[in-house]
Amino acid sequence: MRFIDLRSDTVTKPTEAMRKAMYEAEVGDDVYGDDPTVNELERLAAEITGKEAALFVPSGTFGNQLALFTHCQRGNEVLLGEDCHIIAHEVGAASVIAGVQLRPIPTNKGVLDPSDIEKRIRGVDIHFPDTGLICLENAYSNGRVIPLDNMKEIYTIAQKHNIPVHLDGARLFNAATYLNVSPLEITKCCDSVMFALSKALCAPVGSILAGSKNFIEKARKKRKLMGGGLRQAGILAAAGLIALKDMVGNLKNDHLNALCLGEELSKIPGIKVRIDDIHINMVFFSIDTKLEDNTIVNKMMEKGIKINGTENNEWRFVVHYWVSREDVDFIVATLKDILNM
């Protein structure tokens, strides 16, 4: 039975072209730096982001936490949005791995007020931790894309205070697609960036951390410390190369399908969709119903549709390469039938 999986865009399976490339990949020991396919992927990633170097890592969480670990000294304070992925969905790793203090700042649907950041940058005082890093996220975990002007203003403040900026760009290419700009225009606003190969781009495993040559040299050693020193990783990197070369262009269609899904769901009585927040491939909505979450999840599964339950009383459906416009129609009809039971 074929399932329509809306739980995340991490569920995308490799394309046939990826499977072939993985099978035929030329490999070596990446810890020694002699895996040619990994090296090619890292060169391409650095070029795309406009950074001097890049590093292949197992996951997005790994890449973000490696960035904090590399940028910061233990006891540093990191400024970031109170609802960003690093705080909300990375299991408190910053306190365990980097040993840093996270200082959350309120956001307006993911947008940070630059003045809020500047007034929280610590001065020189025996009682204060040093501000070691500012973290941004684009696209944001709520599915919205942050305006470039906002990122530029924050980066200018960071440079004035000599504080590095890390960008959680897990869905960097979704953000670039929405803004209709090159990813380079976004990554100009940060010193390091992580982006995922396995979110919406169909690669089975992996993310990239990019930054200056010196930063990546330090990160490479810390990657080994964290257990991320992979050996014949070219088998995985081969899929990543196809993700970057061939799959980014499909994201616009994902965004259009998400908007269609949101518009059609909003026509169902009892469903309230955050239409204005559909910037990328995510649809957030609430349902006024007496049905339990588990009942809806199970009924959808019976019809071949995989979904997660609510988080903070909201549902999230994520479309991707393997969700077609016909699938969107089936999803809407199925949920409507379940709610009318």
Domain locations in the chain as residue ranges: 4-9+250-339, 14-246
Q: Which residues contact 270 (CB under 8 A, 6 or more apart)?
A: 287, 288, 289, 339
Q: Please tell me the CATH code under which domain 14-246 is placed.
A: 3.40.640.10
Strand pairing category for 4-5 and 192-196: unpaired
Measured over the CA atoms of residue 8, residue 38, residue 70 and residue 157, the dihedral's sign is negative
Q: Environment class of residue 289 by beta-carbon count within 10 Å: exposed (0-12), middle (13-18) or buried (19+)?
A: middle
How many CB atoms neighbour CB 148 within 10 A? Answer: 16
Read off the pLDDT of residues 97-134 as tens digits, 9 standing for 90 and up: 999 999 999 999 999 999 999 999 999 999 999 999 99
Read off the pLDDT of residues 233-266 as tens digits, 9 standing for 90 and up: 999 999 999 999 999 999 999 999 999 999 999 9
Whether residue 187 contacts residue 165, with contact meaning beta carbons closer than 8 Å, is answered with no
- Domain 4-9+250-339, CATH class in plain words: alpha beta
The neighbouring-strand residues paired with 101 are 77
Q: Which residues contact 340 (CB under 8 A, 6 or more apart)?
A: none
DSSP reduced 3-state for 91:
coil
- Say how many residues make up the chain: 341
Q: What is the mean pLDDT of residues 307-334?
A: 97
Does residue 1 have a pLDDT over 80? no
Q: What is the mean pLDDT of residues 274-286?
A: 98
Long-range contacts of 103-106 (CB under 8 A, 24+ apart): 103/77, 103/78, 103/79, 104/80, 105/79, 105/80, 105/81, 106/81, 106/82
Question: What pLDDT does residue 10 have?
Answer: 97
Q: Report the greatest alpha carbon distance in the chain.
A: 64
pTM value surpassing 0.85 = yes
Helices 172-179, 251-265: axis angle to 10 degrees equals: 80
Cis peptide before 139 (omega within 30 of 0): yes
| Residue 97 exposure: Cα atoms within 13 Å on the Cβ side | 23
Read off the pLDDT of residues 82-95 as tens digits, 9 standing for 90 and up: 999 999 999 999 99
Locus of tokens 């990543």: 240
Does residue 96 have a pLDDT over 80? yes
DSSP reduced 3-state for 8:
coil
Question: What pLDDT does residue 148 have?
Answer: 98
Mean pLDDT (the chain) is 97
